[in-house]
């Protein structure tokens, strides 16, 4: 069952690479948060009550509810519904993302004795998610799209932490979660400020913010 949830998590990245609708991107963040909760529930079902509570707060409440709600609030304020000016057509985005995800699946079937402590499926999909997120950040033009891809990359890092630990690395994930909170808060203010100064939310508008000579 856990493998099915991990595969579904990887497939959400393919959907993100094929759609320009930012609301659909935010819905995929909700789906990823729920899938991470289900993955953790299967992998750490024998953990103590405090660990289970922490997992529920981090994945289901923060990743699946609070962050998407905050991004929806920014989206409604900026009226920036689509990112249609990517450097690469959607078909090629899907093709490249599929190749990266396929490579992740190939990594998951490689068995190396020295890496027996690593969950291969988690590791392969997590690595693919991080790479696809970084790549989408480079080709997307909307600032909000880059924020969303940053969050998907953090979700990939979270999944990666699950693959390399037999027990839940709570301290690591608390640190990552704090970084995400700070980053989302700052980026939210940043996006709102750009929207008040410019008529669109293009990344290229950032060049106009440089100091004048």
CA 96, distance to chain mean position in Å, is 17
Cα–Cα dist 156/173, whole Å: 12
Distance CA 54, CA 60 (A): 10
Q: Which of 79, 76, 21 is nearest to 198 (CA)?
A: 79
CA distances from 39 to 84, 117, 169, 181 (A): 33, 17, 15, 22
* Secondary structure (3-state) at 142: strand
SS3 call for 155: helix
Q: Which of 151, 134, 142, 171 is nearest to 51 (CA)?
A: 171
Cα torsion angle, 82, 84, 86, 91, sign: positive
Task: Using the structure block, give the residue that is written with the tokens 């700070």.
Answer: 182
pLDDT the model gives residue 34 = 93
User: CB neighbours of 170 closer than 8 A, spacing ≥ 6?
Assistant: 51, 54
Give the predicted TM-score (pTM) of the model: 0.78
Q: Which residues contact 158 (CB under 8 A, 6 or more apart)?
A: 36, 59, 173, 176
User: What pLDDT, on a 0 to 100 scale, did the predictor assign at position 176?
Assistant: 60
pLDDT in tens, the chain (213 residues): 788 898 899 999 999 888 878 888 889 999 999 998 888 888 777 777 777 787 788 788 888 888 888 888 878 877 667 766 666 777 888 899 899 999 888 877 776 665 566 777 888 898 899 999 988 888 877 777 888 888 888 888 888 877 776 555 565 566 566 666 666 666 666 666 555 555 555 555 555 555 444
Q: What angle do CA 66, 72, 78 make, to 5 degrees?
A: 140
Q: What is the pLDDT of residue 212?
A: 47
Instruction: Say what angle helices 143-163 and 67-78 make with each other, to 10 degrees.
Output: 170
Distance CA 92, CA 104 (A): 18
């Amino acid at each position: 069952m856990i493998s099915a949830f991990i595969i579904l998590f990887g497939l959400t990245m393919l959907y993100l690479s094929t759609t320009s609708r930012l609301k659909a991107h935010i819905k995929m963040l909700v789906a990823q948060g729920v899938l991470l909760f289900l993955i953790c529930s299967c992998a750490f079902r024998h953990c103590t009550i405090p660990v289970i509570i922490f997992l529920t707060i981090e994945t289901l409440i923060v990743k699946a509810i609070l962050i998407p709600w905050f991004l929806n609030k920014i989206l409604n304020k900026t009226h920036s519904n689509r990112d249609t000016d990517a450097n690469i057509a959607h078909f090629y985005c899907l093709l490249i993302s599929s190749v990266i995800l396929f490579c992740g699946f190939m990594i998951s079937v490689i068995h190396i004795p020295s890496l027996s402590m690593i969950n291969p499926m988690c590791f392969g999909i997590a690595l693919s998610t991080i790479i696809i997120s970084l790549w989408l950040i480079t080709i997307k033009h909307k600032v909000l799209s880059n924020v969303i891809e940053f969050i998907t990359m953090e979700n990939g890092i979270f999944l990666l932490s699950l693959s390399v630990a037999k027990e839940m690395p709570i301290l690591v994930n608390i640190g990552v979660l704090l970084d995400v909170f700070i980053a989302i808060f700052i980026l939210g203010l940043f996006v709102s400020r750009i929207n008040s100064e410019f008529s669109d939310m293009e990344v290229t508008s950032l060049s106009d913010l440089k100091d004048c000579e």
